[in-house]
Amino acid sequence: MLEAVSMLHTALRRIVRGPVNGRHWIRVEMDQAVDVFLAQLDLASCDAIEVSGNAHARRPWRSYRHVDYPAYDLLDPSPLPEFDVVLCEQVLEHVPDPWRAMETLTSLCRPGGSVVITTPFLMRIHEYPADFWRFTPEGMAHIARGAGLEVVQSGSWGNTWCTVANRHRAPTFRAWHQMLSRVTLANDPLCPQTVWTFARKPDQFAVQTV
């Protein structure tokens, strides 16, 4: 009897909690926004580079490359070719000079190409190797425009429930979150957890900056 109760308890925990190594709660809406933006592009004709990550490696790019710090430093970049899509997720908060880093991301992008940037906002300090900054949607868009990019979309997601849950760790999006998604995924623009900017490099960028 006790064994049966224990097995039932374990099964219920798996149903309610979901995968331990699943997607973080703060990433659900942000990832969807990125997916929607990238779905508008012809990825099969795009050469892509991802800075300090490989989350987008399996998309159907024409070619894909990822670079990591310290081998590739946004503030002291080694020469690389230009790409149609430049992805930089959850990185700029760790860079001492995000203005210079944004200029590097712009330089990696071909005229007419796209730049995808995401960062945390209301999140615990996470040193990797250091944690310097937090950006509002307007602040991130301002830095992007200052580097010569045209902002296509600037957005954010967060709510009080997720902010409180994130005080001690980055919580996984569990099955019960999905069942209560109208609450758990509700967005409060004044309480963002993640911020993103999707931008485009002008076709005549090189001419404009001569």
> CA nearest 144: which of 99, 209, 111?
99
As a whole number, mean pLDDT of residues 65-85 equals: 96
Residue 69: CB partners within 8 Å, gap ≥ 6? 52
The whole-angstrom separation of Cα 38 and Cα 69 is 25
Distance in angstroms (rounded) separating the CA atoms of residues 15 and 10: 9
> Using an 8 Å Cβ cutoff, are 60 and 46 in contact?
no
- Looking up tokens 């995000």 gives 98
3-state secondary structure of 37: helix
| Contacting residues for 22 by C-beta, under 8 A, at least 6 apart | 172, 173, 174
The predicted structure's pLDDT at residue 60? 98
pLDDT digits (tens, 9 = 90+) for 109-163: 999 999 999 999 998 888 888 999 999 999 999 999 999 999 999 999 999 988 8
Nearest to 118 by CA among 105, 107, 129: 105
Is the pLDDT at 55 greater than 50? The verdict is: yes
Evaluate whether 206 touches 111 at the Cβ level (below 8 Å). yes
Q: What is the pTM of this model?
A: 0.86
Contact predicate 202/208, CB 8 Å = yes
pLDDT class of 166 with cuts at 50, 70, 90: confident
Residue 189's nearest CA partner among 141, 143, 155 is 155
- Boundaries of every domain in the chain: 25-208
Question: CATH number of the domain at 25-208, out of 3.20.20.30, 3.40.50.150, 3.40.50.2300, 3.90.870.20?
Answer: 3.40.50.150
